[in-house]
Amino acid sequence: MGPSQSIKNLNTPRIALIDCNNFYVSCERVFRPDLTHTPIVVLSNNDGCVVSRSAEAKKLGVKMGQPWFQLAPLAQKHHILPLSSNYTLYADMSNRVMKTLSTYSPKQEVYSIDECFLDLSDFAMPLDSYAKMIRQTILQNLGLPVCIGIGSTKTRAKLANFFAKQHPLLEGICDLESIDTQLQAYFFNQTQVNEIWGIGAKITEKLATKGIKTVWQFMQACPNWLRKNFSIILVKTQAELNHISCLGLNDIKANNKQIIASRSFGAPVYTKQALSEAISSYVARAAEKLRQQNSVAKIIYVYIQTNRFNQASYHAPGVFLTLIEPTQDTRLLTLSALQGLEQIYQPGLAYKKAGITLSEITPNTQKQHALFAPKSTFDNSKSQILMQTIDQINQSIGKGSIHLLSEGFDKSWQMQSNQRSPRYTTHLSEVAKAYTDSN
Ligand SMILES: [Mg+2]
């Protein structure tokens, strides 16, 4: 089942999807090579649920999203190691991966923290060798294993990536357009529709009632029938599987993939009120940056820290919150951030610093709406106008002239001199520090 070595014709679209394997677990292993064969799970905030599993943990039957307390007996029996999530580390590793990958194509779209598309169209070389080189480089430079799927469209690339992950014989790379047609048909027949990008549980269920269960069956379905019974989106998904590109590659290389706003306080801060004000104003700054690059963010990370030089009492909790829909609205981001603070704040401590990080940043134009999201508190078009207006006023009459009440007025917590954010991506000592101390 070796892929063909022929050099493809020019002018044929080729999209690669590169996806890190068990990303959070793999990041942890980079700094703990002794855990290479240990069954590991990474847990969500407050050590609630499993958000990443090592291959060993998967084999033991650990499910994604499973609450940790449910796993206790299994974990004890098989010595499964639970780790708290360390989002700062993952975000930094993600940046390094994406930066490395950006050197392999002029067109890149970062799709999530651990996956990106690269446009390899018109590359006059055997793509399987090229993919092998990419895979080896990421492994060698960053210690992270990745799988690469290649297809004529984004949806095919996604599916190819799934095959690359599923079948060890492919050694992490599947160029769907160069494997032979029999093997392709075999894959399509063996794979359930829910593995197709954009087809969720609800649609899978409905398709099943109409007798469509495999990718192969879905590809053969009548487009008009799909449009009538489902939606135009599903028709596009089918077209994509049949080599007709409906989804372009959005090049967001120039934009920040992560926006950080944080600051040390001038004097120790004790109250939740003061921390709320600080965090609200960091969110406002970050959201303004987000709007400047016309992007939306899906994840906001909030943290507070006591004096890190006082090791005995050092306390640095953080929490990351996923928004129902990606947004650039300061009010929605602030609401989430303050909910996060509510979860991590402990009274009676002297806090030295607080910060937020926005991530999973995508261009506003390709914003994906949650299918079943409750109606947003803030009307989308009105929100944009309001935010634009605030930005314009602040730009013309001075920063922060108009702001949310939650930012406060006297800002006694503000630090006068040091404006520097933590050097997450450039100073390994700070990355490592955050990792060992905050967990
Ligand atoms: Mg992944």
| Residue 49 CA, ligand 1 centroid: distance in Å | 17
Least confident of 168-177, 303-312, 315-324, 373-382: 373-382
pLDDT, position 347: 93
Residue 215: pLDDT over 80: yes
pLDDT band at residue 1 under the 50/70/90 scheme: very low
Read off the pLDDT of residues 230-250 as tens digits, 9 standing for 90 and up. Answer: 999 999 999 999 999 998 887
Cα of 147 vs centre of ligand 1, distance in Å, is 8
In this predicted model, what pLDDT tens digit does every residue of 34-88 receive, in sequence order? Answer: 999 999 999 886 677 898 999 999 999 999 888 888 998 999 999 999 988 888 8
Q: Average the pLDDT over 119-124 and give the result.
A: 82
Distance 130 CA to ligand 1 centre (A): 20
Report domain extents, the chain.
259-366+400-438
| Residues 7, 334: Cα–Cα separation, whole Å | 52
Give residue 11 CA to ligand 1 midpoint distance, Å. Answer: 30
112 CA to middle of ligand 1, Å?
Answer: 9
pLDDT tens for 67-79 read: 888 998 999 999 9
CA of 213 from ligand 1 middle (Å) equals: 25
Which residues make Cβ contacts (< 8 Å) with residue 128, sequence separation at least 6?
A: 3, 5, 173, 175, 178
How far away, in angstroms, is 106 Cα from ligand 1 center?
A: 23
Q: How far is the CA of 240 from the centre of ligand 1 (A)?
A: 22
Instruction: Specify the pLDDT at position 390.
Output: 80
Please report how many Cα atoms fall inside a 13 Å half-sphere around the Cα of residue 342, on the Cβ side: 7
CATH architecture of the domain formed by 259-366+400-438: 2-Layer Sandwich (3.30)
- The per-residue pLDDT for 409 is 64
Q: Is residue 9 pLDDT above 60, yes or no?
A: no
Tell me the mean pLDDT in the region 387-415. 69
Instruction: Determine the pLDDT at residue 377.
Output: 54
Judge whether residue 378 has pLDDT over 70.
no
Out of 5-9, 16-20, 45-49, 353-357, the most confident range is 16-20
Please tell me the predicted confidence (pLDDT) of residue 408. 73
Task: Look at residue 111 and tell me whether its pLDDT is greater than 80.
Answer: yes
What average pLDDT does range 357-377 have in this prediction?
64
Q: How far is the CA of 178 from the centre of ligand 1 (A)?
A: 23
Of the candidates 269, 303, 202, 225, the one whose C-alpha atom is nearest the C-alpha of residue 415 is: 269
Contact (Cβ atoms closer than 8 angstroms) between residue 81 and residue 424? no
Residue 398, pLDDT score: 61
Handedness of CA 200, 205, 206, 211 (dihedral sign): positive
Report CA(45)–ligand 1 centroid distance (Å).
19
163 CA → ligand 1 middle, Å: 13
* Residue 147 · residue 19 · CB < 8 Å: yes
pLDDT of amino acid 8: 46
Strand, coil or helix: 101: helix
| Cα 21 to ligand 1 centroid, rounded to whole Å | 5
Higher-scoring residue by pLDDT: 210, 382: 210
The span from the CA of 241 to the CA of 218, in Å, is 9
Return the higher-pLDDT residue of 408 and 426. Answer: 408
What six digits make up the tokens of 277?
A: 């004000």
> In this structure, which residues have their CB less than 5 angstroms from ion ligand 1?
19-20, 23, 114
pLDDT at 37: 93
Looking at residue 11, its pLDDT comes to 59
N residues, the chain: 439
Contact between 181 and 4 (Cβ < 8 Å): no
Out of 293-307, 337-351, 410-424, least confident range = 410-424
The one-letter code for the residue type at 206 is: K
pLDDT on residue 379:
59
Percent of the chain with pLDDT over 70: 82
Residue 322 pLDDT greater than 70, yes or no: yes
Q: How far is the CA of 360 from the centre of ligand 1 (A)?
A: 14
- DSSP assignment letter at 191: S
In this prediction, residue 3 carries a pLDDT of 41
User: Given a cut of 90, is residue 177 above it in pLDDT?
Assistant: yes
Lowest-confidence pick of 184-188, 204-208, 262-266? 262-266
